[in-house]
Amino acid sequence: MNLESIPDTVWSKLTKEAILRRGQQTAVQPFVRSLFYDHIYSKWSEGKVDYHLNQADELDAGWHELVVEWYAIEQAGPSMGVTLKDHSVGKAHVQGVTDATTMSMRLWEKYNEKGRGDRFQFVVNEGGGMVLFNRMRRACQMFIKQQCAGDPDRSCVRGWKVFGEEKGMGRSDSCCVYTSVKYTDPGLTTLVENYVWPEVEDLVDASFKPLGFFKVCNKPLWAMPMPDSNKEKTVIGRSSKGSAGGLMGNILAKAYTEAIEKTFITEGGLTRMAKAEARGIIDQIYS
């Protein structure tokens, strides 16, 4: 987690929330976590990314049909290739609560069950949803075919997911890629430089910077180093389950819970102590 990328305005909001909850004699941790994840991190691109619809005046054009099709492929069997009658590898998956329009659903391709590595994500200012889904399919399928001899178990990408246009707008992620390696791994560099970036370069918002992430290959693709899940539970007391925003929220919530017990409740003092506690937690979970 990159603490240096979190601006003072965010620290100030978290500090005020912690002081408020302590004054009300309620638990600090859940409120700081919720403020960060639900109201800051998840909405960080609002007002920062000017998104242009794929089809003028029609939000998520074709997304419902694509979700229905992808769900049918998931239900048909374990292999996309068998159902699609082509050389596709991996499995289809649809994530989210079904509603009348399916706009809340996220579409996945999953390739293997390797251990958890780092993850990276990016935000687009056009081509969200269906366009981005097709671009990522092509990039990762070609990577596995050309770099992994068609064997998904050899891929450094475990899977990826794409949000529809509506649910992607305002978020810190239009697409998330889950890997089995560090974000600096040479295999991941090959994936990014030769496959993913050529497919999405014209879609990605190059000026948007999410909270707490590191650049991948010096491009506006953003990585979150993910700690060992057991160590994460031991140090923080709960698991993020692979969620970058969840991990950051857990770290910051614990940092404020610890800090408010060690310092007088002034905004400046609490903020400084919370930053120090957060650095200590990060050192522990990544050691």
Q: Which stretches of 79-209 are assigned E, i.e. beta strand? A: 91-95, 106-110, 119-122, 157-163, 175-179
**pLDDT (average), residues 192-198:** 98
Is there a contact between 186 and 118 (Cβ–Cβ < 8 Å)? no
Dihedral sign, CA of 235, 237, 240, 246?
negative
Please say if the pLDDT value at position 266 is more than 90: no
Please say if the pLDDT value at position 100 is more than 90: no
Give the H or E element holding residue 90.
none
Provide, rounded to the nearest whole percent, the portion of the chain with pLDDT above 70.
98
The single residue listed with the structure tokens 């990314």 is 49
CA 75 remoteness from chain centre: 26
Largest CA distance in the chain: 66
pTM of this structure: 0.91
pLDDT of residue 77: 83
